[in-house]
Amino acid sequence: MTSFSESWPIRVYYEDTDHGGVVYYANYLKFMERARSEFLRCAGLELDTIEAEFGVMFAVRQANVSYHAPARFNEMLNVESALVEMRGARIAFKQQIYRQSDGLLLTEGDIQLACISRDGSVSRIPKAVTERLQSHLNQPEESSS
């Protein structure tokens, strides 16, 4: 599979931080979630449309996150999302969060999603979804943001 990366900017708001002005650890997962949704949107896929048309959703199955340095209130971050695996019922992303001002890697995560039906059972990723993602992955890489 060809890997393709999308970058999504995020500003750290006060609500994202603890009383010391440092991003609360769980909020990095929220930033990654938003970036994955935007990755799919850039590929022409909307999560609500996938559910309506195919009766499936994507649920986080596993998240391995490493924290290297803190992000702070009002900083601008970039969340890089790369689709690294797609087969059967699984999609895997490698995500990295950088501080825009100096490019420092703050956090990285390996996120595995499972495709599930509305009743929660595992379901193969619909062919139309995999074809759309594969088509997006095979496009010449352009600068994104």
Residue 135 forms part of a structural domain: no
Is 12 among the domain residues?
A: yes
Could you give the number of structural domains in the chain? 1
Q: Which pLDDT score, from 0 to 100, does residue 143 have?
A: 45
35-72 pLDDT per residue, tens: 999 999 999 999 999 999 999 999 999 999 999 999 99
4-11 and 90-99 strand pairing:
unpaired
Does residue 88 fall inside a structural domain?
Answer: yes
Domain of residue 50 covers 4-130
Dihedral sign, CA of 2, 95, 59, 62?
positive
Burial of residue 14, with CB atoms counted within 10 A of its CB: 0-12 exposed, 13-18 middle, 19 or more buried: exposed
Asked about 16 being catalytic, the answer comes back as no
> Residue 10 falls within a domain, yes or no?
yes
Catalytic residue among 18, 48, 110, 119: 18
Which 8-state DSSP code applies to residue 55? S
In a domain, 22, yes or no: yes
Phi/psi zone of residue 28: left (φ > 0), alpha (ψ -120 to 50 degrees), beta? alpha
Which pLDDT score is estimated for 4?
A: 66
The CATH number of the domain holding residue 27 is 3.10.129.10
